[in-house]
Amino acid sequence: MDTSAVATHAGHAAEGSFAQMWSPGLLVLLLVAGTLYSLAVNGWRHRFADSEPVETKHQLYFWLGILSWYIAEGSPLAYYGHHYYFSLHMLQQSILYLVMPPLLLIGLPGWLLRPALQGIWAKRFMRFMTNPILALFMFNFIFSVYHIPFIMDTLMANTVLLAAYRAVFLIAAFQLWFPVFCPLPEYSQMSELKRMAYIFLNGVLLTPACALIIFAKAPMYAMYAAVPESMLILPMLDDQSLGGVIMKIVQEIVYGFALGYTFFRWYRRERKRDEEEDLGSEGFLQTNGHANGA
């Protein structure tokens, strides 16, 4: 395998600095974002139109999303995944694109987002971006293209291209999950049953790329094949297969959570509707009974 493509891939033998390992700048940005969120949903809530209390568990989901983002992008996981271990790189991707977006979306109340989407063009843009078919295609297309060996080797060797592609990847991840965990009812385009089908279909579309990585007979990525054997915990091919397995397992767990979340939300809604209908029927019978008695 030609390893010339990885000549600029940040020296495998170099030890990362503290800033590279822990990214204090990202930590500060995420803490500021989380603090502003907490202030908005608690002390500043009265400043927003039609605001409602945000349950503690939903606030916890948001902060878990913040934590997941930092683990994926600001911890040693990002450094070692980028320079040495494909398996850690796939774990990083799993957290960043499959775990983090749903947690943030569950924690975000609609009334907090709505003020930013008041213009006619903003609404049209949201309608377009939240189309489930487009979201399904975009994420899986971007995911599959990213894992083409030539593409990944090129991106990993170019910091600017990698940052740009990851930004697009992250937008596509939020786009993918928005129809499932939609915080704005006016942009919800699917029933719960369709959401469950959407989650299942996305799992099917993601499987081929994972399978190709898991069952590959040779190392696919020159940048990881160039890592000195002394730095490896597992043989390169085993580490590569482990990466595909990690992505698939995390996907199954997250999609299972999404299916369960959607099903129980549908179940609670139907149960509440039945209870309201029963109460309405009782009231109607009581009213008629009093009228007949009179």
The tokens describing 72, both together, are 């994926």
Whats the size of the chain, residue-wise? 294
Classify residue 12: in a domain, yes or no. Answer: no
Classify residue 268: in a domain, yes or no. Answer: yes
Q: Which of 169, 168, 174 is nearest to 108 (CA)?
A: 174
* Alpha-carbon span 96 to 68, nearest angstrom: 7
pLDDT the model gives residue 28:
97
Answering whether pTM is above 0.85, one says yes
Classify residue 21: in a domain, yes or no. Answer: yes
Classify residue 163: in a domain, yes or no. Answer: yes
Classify residue 1: in a domain, yes or no. Answer: no
Question: From first to last of its 294 residues, what are the pLDDT tens digits of the chain?
Answer: 444 444 444 445 456 788 889 999 999 999 999 999 999 999 899 999 889 999 999 999 999 999 999 999 999 999 999 999 999 999 999 999 999 999 999 999 999 999 888 888 888 888 888 899 999 999 999 999 999 999 999 999 999 999 999 999 999 999 999 999 999 988 887 888 899 999 999 989 999 999 999 999 999 999 899 898 888 889 999 999 999 999 999 999 999 999 999 998 888 888 877 777 666 666 555 666 555 555
Classify residue 88: in a domain, yes or no. Answer: yes
**Domain limits for position 255:** 17-281
The residue with tokens 């009228």 is 291
Classify residue 294: in a domain, yes or no. Answer: no
Domain count, the chain: 1
Classify residue 277: in a domain, yes or no. Answer: yes
